[in-house]
Structure 1
Amino acid sequence: MSLEDKLAGFNPNRAGNLSNNIFSLPFEVSESQLVFIPVPWDVTASSKTGTCNGPQNIFNHSFQIDLFDPLAPNAWKKGMAMEKIEPVIKTRNQSTRKQASRIIQFLEGGGETDDHQEMQGLLKNVNQACESLMLELEMKCLQYVENGQIPFLMGGDHSISTGLIRALAREESFGILQIDAHADMRESYQGFTHSHASVMHNAINTEGVERIVQVGIRELCTEEVQMISKNHRTIKTYFGHDLHQRLFEGENWSEICQDIVNDLPDNVYISFDVDGLEPAFCPGTGTPVPGGLSFNQAIYLLETAFNAGKRFIGADLVETGEGRLDGIISARILYRIAGMLIKSNE
């Protein structure tokens, strides 16, 4: 059955059909303009684990979403579908996480891995497993891009973004709009080359990434402050404290969003870590930090970029936890971003 035939037989006003794909849509991956790629991975989580179950949580709550989106009312008709969650990745995540946990516990106990043979061996295994996953994601995403489809990663911890960023950077130059509580600019945090806390450090060193614009950052270390300062032409950070100070002193969110958007190039990759939101929205995320954005502030920022004519070339939604509210909020963020991705590429 063709996409057109499926559209003709699909009633978006009915209750969600649990036998359909994500958001109760009747489409297959092969016929969809946008493809959600679930990545059940939280190997390097340095606080709370469980975001490996984020993709399933989002999927489960997606069937309650009504499809009308005022900004992109017909985007879903172009086809959105989610790949099946791969059990082999979940299995690899579990086994590799056990090794990573031993390293983290060793470090938190005051140990140094540099002169510890056993820990060095474990670290090598973890880094190899993470690099293998990133390479797999890169090749998969590149194939979708070459097919004219838009890849959208669902995490999982923030490290997974590297696979899609690498793939897109093979094709064109772009900037990254990062909504996050953390800068993620540490170099190989805890020895993990693909740590969730190192993803933007890796991104800014990827040829093709022109600029990173960070929004909502409110917890970072001295190393990251120095990294941001040293690379001020390619990294622009809107710290949470500064954003709230501007609001408290009378500026409106619209003006602030316009400043943020003006710092972005024409092609934009969206990296949305849900801990960028106030923790009340996604309390089960791995490393929640108070003082975040509201749901409406985050969506308004994305809409401002969209309305300014920015082309969204890909996206990730990461660090979703296992709780009911986490799934409800994340599913709606996912759908809103997906609509903008499709419409900005028309």
Structure 2
Amino acid sequence: MSLKHQIIDGFDPNGVSTYESLFGLPFDENTAEMIIIPVPWEVTVSYSPGTADGPDAVLNASMQVDLFQDDIKDAWKMGIYMLPIPDDLANKSSNFRILARNYIDWLEKGSPEAELERFAAVPDLINKAAAEMNEWVYEQAKLYRGQGKMVALLGGDHSTPLGLIKAVADDHDNFGILQIDAHADLRVAYENFEYSHASIAYNALKFPQISKLVQVGIRDYCEAEAIMAKENNRITTFYDKDIKKDSYEGKAWKIICDEIVEQLPQEVYVTIDIDGFDPKLCPNTGTPVAGGFELDQIMYLVREVVKSGRRLIGFDLVEVAPGPEGDEWDGNVGARILYRMANLYGASQGRLNLK
């Protein structure tokens, strides 16, 4: 009997877990089929901080998630393991966040020339630090993907998945990105930060392997982003207002999902910014926006992607931020999204059976 089977036989998914691990699962990086990379990073956040604590918040709340999935038998047996949260990256994020915050304050004051010498070098320093973070993520993703693991990422802000997307692009010649988000994230070096959280979609499109970016739920964007989304034939955007209008006029969510899925190529990477959901599900996220989706709507959409025969090749969940001390709501919602996405990823890869 293999070590993994011994672990499975000795674990009661209906009982109280004694494992201080993601979802209380008994697996490690060797026995789990899926690896979650935690990235506690939020250097360029331009509104409310807190997303660097997202991985820890999700980890702490994940013990409350029941492992049973009624449409995926024995889903937990696949094995999910989150790598240790890197303290050095968290500390680096905190230090550079102070530098970036002071620089953003200076920009918002009109960039007074009297302080130009103090702030002129900041963008380069931030860009270098962010590039190093991206390279760390890329190396982790390459390592575990090279071992045959499925790999996902838990942020941190929305700048964090670029290294994972790069690793996916190394292995796939033609794939699409399904982006669930309140924001278009098509800004070009927003606030002079090349790897801004508001630039992830723009940066991802630099990879020629990405044949399509399908954005869903967008409701907060600038004119330049709207023009780019309209003029770039690799981008299809389903704006929140249009989705709502269609639903108010009687179009079923199933039909809307079919239209979204139709735009996607055979292989799909999913990036989920939690602010794409209704803010009642993520009140402490960095940049909440009124509108958005219920959790079940997006999980239904991703399930439809899998049921269509398309294959998930990676995903991330970003921008989860904990509330005041003792408030685990955002982490609780994030943990449930993470678990369901992990299982749908496994099902699309043929490692689990989806009814």
On whether the aligned pair clears a TM of 0.5, the verdict is yes
1:327 corresponds, among 331, 334, 337, to 331
Counterpart in the other structure of 2:269: 269
Residues 187-212 of structure 1, C-alpha deviations (whole Å, 9 max, x = no match): 00000000000000001111211111
Amino acid in structure 1 at the alignment position of 2:102: R
Aligned 8 A contact 1:16 1:64 in 2: no
Aligned counterpart, 1:344: 348
Amino acid at match of 2:273: D
Deviations 1:192-247 (A, max 9, x none): 0000000000011112111110000001001101111220x210000000000000
Q: Within 5 A, what are the aligned runs for 1:47-86? A: 47-86=47-86
In structure 2, the partner of 1:310 is: 310
Which residue does 1:230 correspond to in 2? 231
Partner of 1:131: 131
Report whether the alignment pairs 1:282 with 2:282. Answer: yes
Contact 2:183–2:221 (Cα < 8 Å) also in 1: yes
Deviation larger for 257-266 or 202-211: 202-211
1:291 matched to 2:295:
no
Residues of 2 paired with 1:23 and 1:268: CA distance? 25
Contact 2:67–2:75 (8 Å) recurs in 1: no
Partner of 1:191: 192
Displacement of 1:71: 2.9
Contact 2:270 2:316 in 1 (8 A): yes
**RMSD, aligned CA:** 1.3
Structure 1 position 298, deviation (Å): 1.0
* One-letter identity of the residue aligned with 1:215: V
SS at match of 1:103: helix
Distance 1:54 1:196 in 2: 15
Are 1:158 and 2:158 an aligned pair? yes
The amino acid of 2:182's aligned partner reads A
CA deviations over 1:20-52 (Å, ceiling 9, x no partner): 321110000122110011110010000000000
- 1:103 to partner: Cα distance: 1.0
Distance, in Å, in 2 between the alignment partners of 1:99 and 1:72 is: 46
Q: Deviations over 1:253-284 (max 9, x none)?
A: 00000100010111110100000001001101
Asked whether the 8 Å contact 1:71–1:340 carries over to 2, the reply is no
Deviation at residue 112 of structure 1 after TM alignment: 7.1
Write the distance in 1 (CA, Å) between the matches of 2:119 and 2:70: 53
- How many Å separate the matches in 1 of 2:344 and 2:117? 49
- 1:117, distance to aligned residue in structure 2 (A): 3.5
1:233-252 matches, cutoff 5 A: 233-252=233-252
TM-score by structure 1 length? 0.97
The structural deviation recorded for 1:98 is: 1.0
Would the aligned equivalents of 1:217 and 1:239 in 2 still touch at CA under 8 Å? yes
Q: 1:102-145 CA distances to partner (integer Å, 9 max, x unpaired)?
A: 111011111179x9343221111111000010011111101111
Counting matched residue pairs gives 343
SS of residue in 2 equivalent to 1:160 = coil
Task: Work out whether residues 127 and 193 of structure 2, in 8 Å CA contact, stay in contact via their aligned partners in 1.
Answer: yes
SS at 2:48 equivalent: coil
> How far does the alpha carbon of each residue in 1:74-96 deviate from its partner, in whole angstroms, 9 at most, with x for none?
23212110100011001100111
Percent sequence identity is 38
The unaligned stretches of length 5 or more in structure 2 are: 351-355
Say which SS state the counterpart of residue 154 (structure 2) adopts.
strand
Cα deviation 1:127-177 (Å, max 9, x = unaligned): 100001001111110111111111110011000010100110011021000
AA aligned opposite 2:85: I
Q: Determine if the alignment matches structure 1 residue 170 to structure 2 residue 170.
A: yes
Cα distance between partner residues in 2 of 1:230 and 1:249 = 28
SS at match of 1:210: strand
| C-alpha distance in structure 2 between counterparts of 1:343 and 1:70, whole Å | 13
Q: Retained in 2: the 8 A contact 1:41–1:157?
A: yes
Runs of 5+ consecutive residues of structure 1 not aligned to the other structure: none
Partner residue, 1:120: 120
Query: What residue in structure 1 maps to residue 353 of structure 2?
Result: none
The separation in 2 between residues aligned to 1:15 and 1:181, in whole angstroms, is 37
Which amino acid in the other structure matches residue 91 of structure 2?
A: T
1:238 aligned counterpart, secondary structure: strand
- Residues in 2 aligned to 1:87 and 1:40: alpha-carbon distance in whole angstroms: 8
Deviating beyond 6 angstroms after TM superposition, the runs of 4 or more aligned structure 1 residues are none
Contact 2:37 2:140 in 1 (8 A): no
SS at structure 1 position matched to 2:315: strand
**CA distance in 2 between partners of 1:179 and 1:44 (Å):** 20
- Describe how 1:192-211 pairs up with structure 2 within 5 A: 192-211=193-212
